[in-house]
Amino acid sequence: MSLSPHTASSASMPELDEDELLHVSLGPQHPSTHGVFRMNVALDGETVVSLKPVFGYLHRNHEKIAEGVTYLSSMPFTDRLDYICPLTNNWAYAQAVEKLAGIEVPERAEYIRIITAELTRLINHTAFVGFFLGDMGAWGSALMYAFREREKILDLFEDLTGARMMSNYMRFGGCRNDLPDGWAARASVLVNEFPRFLDELENLITGNEILIARTQNIGALPKEVLINGGITGPMLRAAGVAYDIRKAEPYGIYDRFKFRIPLGAVGDCYDRLMIRLLELRESLSILRQALDQLPEGAYIHPKAKIRNFKPPVGEAYARIESPKGELGFYLISDGSAQPFRYRIRPPSLINLTLLEDMCLGLDLADVVLILGSVDIVLGEVDR
Amino acid sequence: MTPDLPAILARLRVALPAATLTHLRNPGPSGQDSLLVAPDHLGAVCQFLHDTAELDFDLLSNVTGIDWPEPAQADAVAVPVEGTTPAACGFLEVVYHLYSTALRVGPLVLRARTVDRVNQVHIPSVVAVYRSAELQEREIFDLYGVEFIGHPDLRRILMWDEFLDHPMRKDYVAPDDYQYEPTPHDAVLEKAQQHYTV
């Protein structure tokens, strides 16, 4: 094939000829995509020139399904959003309905909710460390340590809710059942033993030369850009923004507990990893206080309606600090037994808004790390 | 902390006298009132809320699409405080939940409405002010069919590109061949037979 006269006579070749780029479809079936997620990456050598995420492989239109069933019927479905953290999903939804209908929650139920939510944060952040190291090539070992601890917490959840993961535990106005006998004591034992595991985990990873070389100064963005991009949760705090909904807009009874908000300095993948490790310690502190103060009383409001529940006409947006970021539910009631509109504000999806910006100019291997540091679950991304 | 909506409304009316703004009351117990913004000034209103230091709404947290086939239903959920004439036909609505991370204020609820549900389904995109709307506006375009003018990359996000309808619309009818069973029976068989004989 001969070159056209125009091309042959042009003085300089364009720097990035579209034909010279390598287009890689990363995913959807690949362990590093944390489920079924795909990135269409264009590479110049090893360098990322463009990255377009492709969503929807796990889409089942949860929101449409929820509009066709009663309010309570959606509760078990929220377990399947971020399936690592079903109890925080339950809480976010219950809280939105309580706001919509003006339902009170008894004190003991608030304590149970905080205890289960912070245990969920322990699960999420330890699992995150395991998955993140897996993304880096330490496939298996760190994850096995993390899952060993996770399983202990899941045992507690199984005793409390009847299921390890698909808990379906919160109700509008409280919780489904009370803590079983001895549960709080077993949770206390777990909370007291957990720091030893954390020391072990930190010892395993923090000083590791490979980890430092691969994660430092990778994927950082200015904090203004992150806020503008809707990034919330540990991702945002790693960049040094003190924004945690537990402090900014305390829900439940978080204002009764003393805990700190760890902040990063650079906002790179290293900071994102460390923020999670530090948040684990703070969660343990909340757990200790909550288990110490746990009052007796009702676990659900005596007037809470399970059957024929119809909130008054109106709307409500409520959000919680889920382990992955701001998890919000926006509900509109037209006075009937089914929500007119049921919207989930998924932290996993919105934290991916700036994925391309974080990856441009870096190597392909860094993309896997950056995606890992966002901490997504596809059940929540695609809904 | 909930925002002082009347004060914000007064500020906006001074800064943007041409913008049509309506305070909508929330009849439910949540107390989250909202502000209806005429679409042609949506970008300017967002820019003002974002740039004004005393307001500092820097986080657009949530963007929601809603389908209102009956305008009366919309007026029941978000009741106009001032007397306004109700819309003549159904419309699509986009709801924005804004927060201030530094001042810890929110949610400030903004609403924008299309003219109808069929032909005039445009609303200006706010991605230029709030990047966080990028994926959420794509989702509303995909599931509701709202066309966001000025969106940098408006295409389907959850459904596949060849998909034609907008599944979150209230009048969406699911195709009747969605449920394949090797040996259909009862209701599924009836449905399947209807499908295959047509």
User: pLDDT tens digits, residue range A10-43?
Assistant: 344 445 666 788 888 887 887 777 778 899 999 9
Distance CA A16, CA A49 (A): 9
Q: Which pLDDT belongs to residue B180?
A: 61
The backbone torsions φ and ψ at residue B27, rounded to the nearest 5 degrees and listed phi first, read -75, -15
The pLDDT score that the predictor gives to residue A4 is 40
Question: A57 CB near a chain B CB, below 8 Å?
Answer: no
Angle at A364 between CA A360 and CA A370, to 5 degrees: 70
In contact, B104 and A249? CB cutoff 8 Å: yes
Q: Is residue B141 part of a domain?
A: yes
Q: What residues of B are in contact with residue A316 (Cβ under 8 Å)?
A: 28, 30, 32
Write out chain A's pLDDT in tens, 383 residues.
333 433 333 344 445 666 788 888 887 887 777 778 899 999 988 899 999 999 988 899 999 999 999 999 999 999 999 999 999 999 999 999 999 999 999 999 999 999 999 999 999 999 999 888 888 888 778 888 889 999 999 999 999 999 999 999 999 999 999 999 999 999 999 999 999 999 988 888 878 888 889 899 888 899 999 999 999 999 999 999 999 999 998 998 999 999 999 999 998 999 999 999 999 999 999 999 999 999 998 899 888 877 889 999 999 999 999 999 999 999 999 999 999 999 999 999 999 999 999 998 899 889 989 998 998 899 899 98
Let me know: does A354 contact A112? Beta carbons within 8 Å: no
Q: Tell me which residue of A145, A163, A160, A121 sits closest to A204, measured CA to CA.
A: A145
Contact B167 A64 (CB under 8 A): yes
Q: By C-alpha distance, which of B4, B172, B170 is closest to B93?
A: B170
Q: How many domains does chain B have?
A: 1
Q: How far apart are CA A278 and CA B196, in angstroms?
A: 60
Average the pLDDT over B126-151 and give the result. Answer: 93
Q: Does ipTM exceed 0.85?
A: yes
Q: Do B107 and A317 count as a contact with CB atoms less than 8 A apart?
A: yes
Distance CA B42, CA A254 (A): 36
- As given in the structure block, the two tokens for residue A232 are 């919330």
Mutate to test the interface with A, among B56, B58, B59 (most CBs of A within 10 A): B59
Nearest to B144 by CA among B122, B175, B177: B122
Helix, strand and coil in chain A, % to nearest 5? 50, 15, 35
Q: Residue A232 and residue B28: Cβ atoms within 8 Å?
A: no
pLDDT at A346: 93
User: Is residue A99 less than 8 Å (CB to CB) from chain B?
Assistant: yes
Task: Write out pLDDT tens, residues B34-64.
Answer: 999 999 999 999 999 999 888 899 999 999 9
Confidence of residue B69 (pLDDT cuts 50, 70, 90): very high
Q: How confident is the model at residue B177 (pLDDT cuts 50, 70, 90)?
A: low
Edge-to-edge strand list for the sheet holding B34-37: B59-68, B91-100, B105-113, B34-37, B21-25, B79-80
- The reply to whether residue A225 touches residue B135, judged by beta carbons under 8 angstroms, is no
Residue owning tokens 């608030």: A110
| Closest of A72, A123, A70 to residue A94, by C-alpha | A72
Q: Does residue A35 contact residue A128 with C-beta atoms inside 8 Å?
A: no
Q: Looking at CA atoms only, how far is residue A101 from chain B in angstroms?
A: 6
Instruction: With respect to residue B174, please indicate whether it lies within any of the assigned structural domains.
Output: no
Beta bridge partners of B24: B34, B80
Pick the residue from chain A with its C-alpha nearest to B28: A314
pLDDT surpasses 50 at B18: yes
Which residues of chain A make contact with B168, given a CB cutoff of 8 A? 61, 63-64
Cα angle B106-B44-B92, degrees, rounded to a multiple of 5: 75
Instruction: Note whether residue B100 is domain-resident.
Output: yes
Beta strands in chain B (DSSP E): 21-25, 34-37, 59-68, 79-80, 91-100, 105-113, 122-124, 147-149
Test B1 with A249 for CB contact under 8 angstroms.
yes
The partner residue sitting opposite A243, judged by closest CB among B32, B101, B133, is B101
Closest listed residue to residue A355, CA positions, set A368, A342, A345: A368
- Residue at A180: amino acid letter: P
On the 0-12 / 13-18 / 19+ scale of CB atoms within 10 A, B161 is: exposed
What CATH number has the domain bearing residue B155?
Answer: 3.30.460.80
Please tell me the predicted confidence (pLDDT) of residue A339: 94
Q: Taking CA atoms, what residue in B is nearest to A236?
A: B101
> What is the structure's pLDDT at A11?
41
Main-chain dihedrals φ then ψ at residue B101, nearest 5 degrees: -70, -35
Cβ separation of B136 and A350 shorter than 8 Å? yes
Contact A326 B158 (CB under 8 A): no
Between chain A and chain B, how many beta carbons pairs sit less than 8 Å apart?
125
Contact A43, A359 (CB under 8 A): no
Angle at A237 between CA A215 and CA B95, to 5 degrees: 120
DSSP string for B108-151:
EEEEEE-S-SSS--EEE--TTT-TTHHHHHHHHHHHH--EEET-
Which of A261, A341, A354 would best serve as a mutation to test chain B binding (most B beta carbons within 10 A)? A341
Beta carbons of A354 and B107 less than 8 Å apart: no
Confidence at residue A36, expressed as pLDDT on a 0 to 100 scale = 86
Contact A317 B26 (CB under 8 A): no
- Look at residue B137 in the predicted model and tell me its pLDDT: 94
| DSSP line for A325-360 | EEEEEEEEE-SSSS-SEEEEE-HHHHTTTTHHHHHT
List all residues 6 or more positions away from A193 whose beta carbon is below 8 Å from its beta carbon.
Answer: none
- Does residue B187 belong to any structural domain of this protein? no
Q: Which domain holds residue B35?
A: 5-167
Find residues 62-81 of chain A whose CB sits inside 8 Å of chain B.
63-64
Looking at residue A1, its pLDDT comes to 38
- Whose tokens are 């808004």? That residue is A353
Residue among A229, A317, A330 whose CB faces B132 most closely:
A229
Residue type at A168?
N
A102 touches chain B (CB under 8 A): yes
CA atoms of A292 and A44, how far apart (whole Å): 57
> Beta strands B34-37 and B105-113: pairing type?
parallel
Is the CB of B132 less than 8 angstroms away from the CB of A343?
A: no
Amino acid at A110: E
Count of CB atoms within 10 A of residue A65's CB?
14
| pLDDT score for A2 | 38
**Sheet with strand A47-54: strands edge to edge:** A22-26, A38-44, A47-54
pLDDT score of A134: 86
Specify the pLDDT at position B161: 87
Tell me the DSSP string of A284-311.
HHHHHHHHHH---S-SB-TT---SS--P
pLDDT bracket for residue B178 (50, 70, 90): low
The model's pTM is 0.89
Res A29: pLDDT = 80
| Cβ contact A312:A97 at 8 Å | no
CB A38 within 8 A of CB A53: yes
Q: Which residue in chain B is spatially nearest to A311 when comparing CA positions?
A: B28
Q: Indicate whether B25 belongs to any domain.
A: yes
Give how far Cα A32 sits from Cα of A26, A133, A145, A212, Å.
9, 11, 19, 19
* DSSP label at residue A179: P
Closest A-chain CA to B93: A341
Residue B28: pLDDT above 50?
yes
Question: Which residue does chain A place closest to B108, by CA atoms?
Answer: A317
Q: What domains, with CATH codes, occur in chain A?
A: 12-52 (no CATH), 53-382 (1.10.645.10)
Q: d(Cα A216, Cα A219) in Å, to the nearest integer?
A: 9
